[in-house]
Amino acid sequence: MPTASALRSPLIAALPEPLGLLAVRGILRSYPKKTVLINEGESGDTLFVLVKGSAKAFSMDKVGREITYSVIQAGDYFGEMSLDGGPRSASVITLEPSTCSVVTRAEVEAHLLAHPAFAMNIVEQVIRRARVATEVARSMALLDVYGRLVAALEKYDGPKTTNADGSLTLETITHQEIASRVGASREMVSRLLKDLERGGYLQMATRRIVLLKKMPARW
């Protein structure tokens, strides 16, 4: 059973209490940037609580084409989809040096017995991620590359700042990262972004894009 002293760990203490109580049941492990924590298709019986850093969930085909599902920030968890004994549904890689509490399936079950209300948290998490996967599939099937690009920029879930003039700055974003999100080549994304910049819809800088005004539905 987790103790009050365990919850005073600086990394764990920053988490919401329900998640902190789960995190102390695991083992804290630190990982460098670009460490693959989960491989899609492999079996797994652990859940990861991300207590520091960030990671992304993605899939990659045999020729290296990648689609990004989401960016995971500290204070969230992942890996719950395989707790039913099935294979991992996506790969996860760190985007920066990160620390996770790695919790076994047995400890997750013990946590749910001690805190049954947390089961609803897991259900809601699964639903959210199913909706994200559905939205990705819908975008790939129904939108062209430009439409997917606009959606990716408008729904960017990384660091961003609303400026005094009403513009929105998207931080730590690259053309390759956008390409992975929209399922297109980096060259295609760069060309569309340059066209939008010339049209006065956005400004680009190193790892930063400023959205100046609403982009047109079609280009």
At 11-32, the pLDDT tens digits run 888 888 889 999 999 999 999 9
Cβ(61)–Cβ(124) below 8 Å:
no
Residue 213 has pLDDT above 90, yes or no: yes
Residue 169's pLDDT band, with cuts at 50, 70 and 90, is very high
Question: What pLDDT digit, counting tens, does each position of 191-201 carry?
Answer: 999 999 999 99
User: pTM above 0.75?
Assistant: no
Residue 43 has pLDDT above 70, yes or no: yes
Q: Supply the pLDDT for residue 8.
A: 54
Give the DSSP per-residue string, the chain.
Answer: ---HHHHTSHHHHTS-HHHHHHHTTSEEEEE-TT-EEE-TTSB--EEEEEEESEEEEEEE-TTS-EEEEEEEETTEEE-GGGTTS-B-SSEEEESSSEEEEEEEHHHHHHHHHH-TTHHHHHHHHHHHHHHHHHHHHHHHHH--HHHHHHHHHHT--S-EEE-TTS-EEEES--HHHHHHHHTS-HHHHHHHHHHHHHTTSEEEETTEEEE-SPPPS--
| Domains identified in the chain and CATH numbers | 4-141 (2.60.120.10), 144-211 (1.10.10.10)
Instruction: Report the percent of the chain where pLDDT is more than 90.
Output: 60
